[in-house]
Copies of this chain bind each other. A is one copy, B any other.
Amino acid sequence: MTMIASEMLETYPADLGGIDREKLAACIGECFACAQACTACADACLSESDVGALVKCVRSNLDCADVCAATGRVLSRHTGYDANVTRAVLEACAAACKACGDMCAEHEHMAHCRHCADKCRACERACRDLLASLG
């Protein structure tokens, strides 16, 4: 995914401004990967026999999938860059990933939550790295 995001970044026909290309490509890739993992984790939770104990996890997964998907799209656009929107969206994505990562980490005995927690941590880190690089 990061490779794909990098490929498309390299084809952008105008100036990307001072943004860190590697951090940007990494963050786009993590957003799409996390959106997929969270969508799948919500569904896997629904198939667990003790789904009643997992409803807050499903909700965290669904929020995180939605926010990561929107963030991955916003970051995939460079025309008319708006630092305020980018920052606020990255903050929201980091918050959603933190909440979902913490929730899934409580259920690491289930492989889907363990993998999903990893993706959420990686995406949160990529959002914060990109935020820090924006100055």
Which residues from chain A sit less than 8 Å from chain B, CB to CB? 1, 4-5, 7-14, 28, 32-33, 35-37, 39-44, 46-49, 51-52, 55-60, 62-63, 65-67, 69-70, 72-74, 76-80, 82, 84-85, 87-89, 91-92, 94-96, 98-99, 110-112, 114-116, 119
Q: Is there an interface contact between A12 and B32, defined as CB atoms closer than 8 Å?
A: no
Expressed in whole angstroms, the Cα–Cα distance for A32 and B91 within the complex equals 22
Partner of A82, one of B40, B49, B72, B99: B99
Q: Are B55 and A111 in contact (CB under 8 A)?
A: no
Q: Are A8 and B77 closer than 8 Å at their CB atoms? A: no
Inter-chain pairs besides A57-B80, A88-B92, 15 sampled, C-beta below 8 Å:
A1-B4, A8-B36, A8-B37, A8-B112, A9-B40, A11-B112, A32-B32, A49-B52, A51-B51, A67-B89, A69-B69, A85-B95, A87-B95, A88-B91, A88-B96
